[in-house]
Structure 1
Amino acid sequence: MRRRTLLKGAAVGGVAALGAGFWALPTSPRPAAVSLDGARQVLDELQGRALVATRGWSPQEVFNHCAQSIEYSMDGYPELKPAWFRHSVGPAAFAVFSVRGAMRHPLDEVIPGAAPLAEPASQELALQRLQAAFERFAGYDGELQPHFAYGALDHAEYAEAHVMHLYNHLSLIRPA
């Protein structure tokens, strides 16, 4: 009983701190509307351009990472955070991101259990993979899988999460 009370207290305290901390973080300008169409437009504009990362992952690793997240939302994430997290801290973080219209997360953190970000190895092919993942998701009407951290999301929520995720990562990508 004491352990459950302690866990609940920690979760509530963590959610409050998370919300206050993320709310205070500045947001960078969004490259387009937080919508699937906005993301498609941004990705179309990147085609054929030489890109570099200001730090962290290469552009192709970023594109592969974002594609993985979209693919896993339909096919299932390889690993999930504990249920208590997916029912408390995770949804609270997503709610904060949603209200702000922007996501902030560690930009070098892999999806738990995900395949290495090496394939495809070229920037252009990785960008095509990401565009195909967005197209597949846009037309997907099957059951979506729980997000590894946020838990159950409907199609609109997942679309918002995928676009905010992409935009957060693109904040470190520049023309070469």
Structure 2
Amino acid sequence: MHTHPHLSRRTFITTTAVGVAAASTTACQKANAGDRQLVFASLKDAQREIDRLAKAANLRSATQWSWPQTLTHCAQSIEYSLTGFPESKSALFQNTAGTLAFQFFYWRGRMNHDLAEPIPGAPALDTSNDAGLAMARLQTAIADFHKRSTALQPHFAYGSLNKPAYEHAHAMHLANHLSAFDVAS
């Protein structure tokens, strides 16, 4: 019989799941002004929107980061799935709250996160970065991801993902960031 005063594993996981679901639901209800709430199931879906926005002469933004910074951040995320993230949450976090958050986002079809939060341990985003260079970096990262036939690196928060799940994670990440941009009228 378990008499330890700390939470049992089942209670911890259940409590974590409820907390993640509540936080995610709150995030859904508090969509940022200008959030177009895009949904992509694949990187190919995301690519169409990237191309549309890249052709625009004037983008309207609802985020702190510039278009090049956003593209660079999204490229970093894809690159790190190939090379390894500079910092990761604990295995306990990845196997509980991280897994539950990913499952919730996957079930919902989209994610919400702070659009100005860098990847833990990633280099600071260059504020003078050229949009063309940032776009080329993102395109290379996407192509490299598609070419990868060996195992991918664990996500810093979600842990180990197979290639289809990782592609969906990247598509949701891009949708969340690209939702903050639109063609100015």
Which category of TM-score, normalised to the shorter sequence, fits these structures? 0.7 to 0.9
Distance 2:127 2:151 in 1: 27
| Secondary structure at the counterpart of residue 88 of structure 1 | helix
So what's the TM-score if we normalise by structure 1? 0.88
Counting only pairs closer than 5 Å after superposition, residues 17-36 of structure 1 correspond to structure 2 as: 17-23=19-25, 25-26=28-29, 31=38, 33-36=40-43
Q: 1:4 to 1:81 in 2, by over 3 A?
A: farther
Equivalent residue for 2:169, pick from 139, 142, 161: 161
Q: Percent identity?
A: 38
Equivalent residue for 1:40, pick from 47, 59, 76: 47
Match for 2:20: what amino acid? L
Distance 1:73 1:117 in 2: 18
Q: Is the counterpart of residue 53 in structure 1 residue 61 in structure 2?
A: yes
Measured after TM superposition, the shift of residue 91 of structure 1 is 0.6
Equivalent residue for 1:16, pick from 18, 22, 30: 18
Runs of 4+ in structure 1 displaced over 6 angstroms?
none
Q: Is the counterpart of residue 73 in structure 1 residue 81 in structure 2?
A: yes
Structure 1 range deviating more: 26-35 or 73-82: 26-35
**Alignment match, 1:138:** 146
Q: 1:134 to 1:30 in 2, by over 3 A?
A: farther
CA contact (8 A) 1:15 1:92 kept: yes
Deviations 1:64-88 (A, max 9, x none): 1110000000100000101110110
**Alignment match, 1:112:** 120
Distance 1:153 1:80 in 2: 14
Distance 1:172 1:129 in 2: 20
What is the RMSD computed on CA atoms of the aligned residues?
Answer: 2.4
Measured after TM superposition, the shift of residue 17 of structure 1 is 2.1
Match for 1:106: what amino acid? D
CA contact (8 A) 2:50 2:178 kept: no
**If you compute each CA radius of gyration, which structure gives the higher value, 1 or 2?**
2
Match for 2:72: what amino acid? N
Distance 2:94 2:108 in 1: 20
Distance 1:54 1:162 in 2: 20
| Secondary structure at the counterpart of residue 87 of structure 1 | helix
Distance 2:149 2:5 in 1: 40
Gaps of 5+ in 2: none
Match for 1:98: what amino acid? Y
| Secondary structure at the counterpart of residue 136 of structure 2 | helix
Match for 1:109: what amino acid? E
Q: 1:65 to 1:7 in 2, by over 3 A?
A: farther
Gaps of 5+ in 1: none
Measured after TM superposition, the shift of residue 10 of structure 1 is 4.5
| Secondary structure at the counterpart of residue 182 of structure 2 | strand
Measured after TM superposition, the shift of residue 47 of structure 1 is 2.5
Q: Is the counterpart of residue 84 in structure 1 residue 92 in structure 2?
A: yes
Measured after TM superposition, the shift of residue 90 of structure 1 is 0.2
Distance 2:36 2:60 in 1: 19
Deviations 1:28-55 (A, max 9, x none): 6554641121112112222332324223
Q: 1:142 to 1:9 in 2, by over 3 A?
A: same
